[in-house]
Chains A and B, each alone.
Chain A
Amino acid sequence: MMLKYKLILLTILLFAGFASPAQQTRISAKLEKDSILIGDQITFDLLFTGPAKAKVNWPVFQDTLTSEIEIINSSGLDSARKNNLLELSQQYTITSFDSGTHSIGPFRIAFNMPDDTTSYIGISDIQDLHVLTVPVDTTKAIKPIKGPMDAPLTFAEILPWLLTGIGLLIIAAAIWYYTYARKRAKPLIPVRQKPKLPPHIQALNDLEQLKQKKLWQEGKLKEYYTELTDIIRIYIEERFDIMAMEMTSFEIMEHLQALHPDGESLEKIASTFSLADMVKFAKEKPLPSDNDTSWLNAKYFVENSFRRKEENEPEEENKALTEKVQKENE
């Protein structure tokens, strides 16, 4: 009896130590998911695990796995050796346009062992793929076929237009700047200009220059009074913002009375304008004292109106500018 058990144990151990290659082989077929909507795409993996030295005849699929299942794409055959076993795998992207349940497999993969003429076959499991259709609401009207969808714009497509637009803007800006600069007779590279003298300084300087010209002493009365009134009119234009050069003496006085309510100053300048008009338009020849008085009246008017401005609106800025210009002139 003891011997009988020993023989059984020996037989078991003998068979366990020498397992056949087919027993070491495993074929696995795996779907990404078992149900899809008609036309959806999923992956399908086919895996072979077998003896390391096995020569495998890997199945080649053309366009379809079965008559209902189409192959969209397939990866290359991947091989690996782990624990003295050979692993071969390939992934397929599949789809189906037939609704219903479709069986995939079983796939048979044949292989041989070296020094063995026997052909071994491994068989995969069967996988069921449920292809579902889109539910149709028959109560609603049939709609026309939807038009093609617009593909979103890519940056590469926009880039040429963007560059052209920027280029045109730069050209337009350059043309505008060039014409604007020309219109204002401004050089393209601006040159720093000498600051303009404040009106009262300019007027007083001009009056001093007029005095030094000694025009009336030389009998040039008309020139003297023309220059004198022009100095005052330019001063009024810049100081009071009145278009005095385009106004008659009467109009200037009318405007001044509204803006500069200093009776004495106005009276003096009015008498100067009146005398100047007589000299300019009526060949009047005033006395030398009148010529001096007219000059003094003009100076008084400029100084007085400037002082009034300083009292009413003290301007540090104006003073600073005056000093700056005087320094520059020196």
Chain B
Amino acid sequence: MKETDIKELNERIQKESAFVDMLNLEMHKVIIGQKHMLESMLIGLLSNGHILLEGVPGLAKTLAIKSLARTIEAKYSRIQFTPDLLPADLLGTMVYSQKKEEFQVKKGPIFANFILADEINRSPAKVQSALLEAMQEKQITIGENTYSLDEPFLVMATQNPLEQEGTYPLPEAQVDRFMLKVIINYPTKDEEKHIIRENITGAFPETKAIIKPTDILKARGIVREVYLDEKIENYITDIVFATRYPAENKLKKFDGMISYGGSPRASINLALAAKAFAFIKRRGYVIPEDIRAVAYDVMRHRIGLTYEAEAENITTEDIISEILNTVEVP
């Protein structure tokens, strides 16, 4: 890529990413606070990745994805995962039509642009697998027919960190398919006061459509063009390798604390998410700040802890922080 290309790209991004500010403005009409969640949703949307959200109930997860769908004029589905849910309830099934005297396809709620898979860990493995396969393949087979899912296709799955009884925790291989795992925290005091006032008056503002799904697909193309220098690639691999071989990367204290480190998917998603983050910041190139900004969300579910680490109350966030403070920035 030549010098002029980056300049031209920067100019294009300045122009094409203008919707980001408008989208944020529109979303903040209905969502008070939760800036990080909204930013992560945009990263997922722009880099064609799915998001696993972890947070207690009542933090506006459903409202956020609903509002995002509305601002993009996209189709939205909310699926409540329960222990008795079947893959067919999710994907769709063949239904016999007496009128036509034949089996007809009845598509499931997964045929939408934005899916909120609420409490994904409440359903058994076969339902989880069905969803994760659809996320990966972007297509569904019902009977003899295969149907492609609509683009953009974003799955936002939620997990409740408090109630673990009667749940089916997602296996590591399936969690790895989510690009980001976002931890949602409570709003601040001022934000909470604002939420109370809005709920008491009952004046709930509504979002309006800002862009179309095709604009998102176009933006995704530009995001892929964002320049990622070799120095940044080295920085990404240094970080991911530090999760795999901590002792060789000046992190001897984590030796025996990490059961498995980040997979190559971690490196890919770190690069993609950083590109999307740079796009949101209206830049045509990735800088180390972008990597650090997305590192926690990309890697927290891709590092396995040993019993020793759990006994010492070490979290994956502690490990990521230490890695970021140890690996040299280019």
A282: contacting residue among B227, B292, B324, B330, CB under 8 A:
B227
Task: Tell me which residues across on chain B come within 8 A of A250, comparing CB atoms.
Answer: 289
Alpha-carbon gap, A283 to B284, bound state (A): 11
Which of A129-137, A199-207, A239-247 forms contacts with chain B? Answer: A239-247
Is the Cβ of A281 less than 8 Å from the Cβ of B229? yes
**A284 with B3: CB separation less than 8 A:** yes
Contact indicator B6/A282 (Cβ below 8 Å): yes
B154 in the interface (beta carbon within 8 A) = no
Q: Which residues of B contact A245 (CB under 8 A)?
A: 328-329
* Contact flag A246-B330 (CB < 8 Å), given A280-B231, A281-B231, A283-B3: no
Q: For A243, give the chain B residue with the smallest CB separation.
A: B325
A224 to B7, CA, bound (A): 21
Which residue on chain B has the smallest CB distance to residue A252?
B329
Most buried by B among A246, A248, A249: A248
Question: Which chain B residue shows the least CB distance to A222?
Answer: B231
A227 at the interface (CB under 8 A from B): no
Question: In the bound complex, do residue B329 and residue A281 qualify as a contact, i.e. CB atoms below 8 Å apart?
Answer: no
The interface residues of chain A lying within 8 Å CB-to-CB of B231 are 226, 280-281
In the complex, A245→B238 CA distance in Å?
A: 14
* Centre residue among B232, B324, B330 by max chain A CB count within 10 A: B330
Most buried by B among A243, A248, A249, A281: A281
Residue-by-residue, is A276-314 near B (CB-CB < 8 Å gives 1, otherwise 0)?
Answer: 010011111100000000000000000000000000000
Whose C-beta in chain A lies nearest to the C-beta of B284?
A282
Cα of A245 to Cα of B235 in the assembled complex, Å: 13
- Among B1, B229, B232, B284, max chain A CB count under 10 A is at B229
Interface of chain A: mostly helix, strand, loop or mixed: helix
Q: How far is the CB of B234 from the nearest CB of chain A, in Å?
A: 11
CB neighbours (8 Å) of A226 from chain B are 231, 330
Smallest CB separation, A210 vs chain B (Å): 17
Within 8 A of A (CB), among B41-81: none
A246 touches B6 (CB 8 A): no
**Total residues of chain A contacting the partner, CB 8 A:** 15
- One of A243, A280, A283 near B330 (C-beta < 8 A): A280
Q: Which of B290-330 contact A (CB under 8 A)?
A: 292, 324-330
- B288 contact set on A, CB distance < 8 A: 248, 281
A248 touches B3 (CB 8 A): no
Beyond A281-B232, A282-B6, whether A246 also contacts B327 by CB under 8 A is: yes
Interface residues of B in 1-15 (CB under 8 A from A): 1-3, 6
Q: How far is the CB of A291 from chain B (nearest CB, A)?
A: 15
A226 to B3, CA, bound (A): 18
Contact with B along A137-180 (1 / 0, CB 8 A): 00000000000000000000000000000000000000000000
B286 sits at the interface (CB 8 A): yes
CB-nearest residue of chain A to B5: A283
Q: Are B325 and A283 in contact (CB under 8 A)?
A: no
CB of B153 closer than 8 Å to a CB of A: no
Q: In the complex, how many angstroms separate the beta carbon of B99 from the nearest chain A beta carbon? A: 63
Taking a contact as CB atoms under 8 Å apart, the answer to whether A282 and B285 are in contact is yes
Q: A11–B292 Cα gap in the complex (Å)? A: 143
CA distance A285 to B287 in the complex (A): 17
Q: Which of B284, B288, B292, B324 has the most CB of A within 10 A?
A: B288
- Give CA–CA (A284, B6) in the complex, Å: 8
Task: A29 to B249: give the CA distance in the assembly, Å.
Answer: 99
Distance (Å) between the CB of B295 and the closest chain A CB?
A: 12
Q: A248-B292, A283-B2, A285-B3 are in contact. List 16 more A-B contacts (CB 8 A).
A: A226-B231, A246-B327, A246-B328, A246-B329, A247-B329, A248-B288, A248-B289, A249-B287, A277-B287, A280-B231, A281-B231, A281-B285, A281-B286, A281-B330, A282-B6, A282-B285
8 nearest CB pairs, A to B: A282-B285, A248-B288, A281-B229, A248-B289, A245-B328, A281-B287, A282-B6, A281-B285
List 10 A-B pairs, Cβ < 8 Å: A281-B229, A281-B231, A281-B287, A281-B330, A282-B6, A282-B229, A282-B285, A283-B3, A283-B227, A284-B3
Residues on B facing A (Cβ under 8 Å) = 1-3, 6, 227, 229, 231-232, 284-289, 292, 324-330
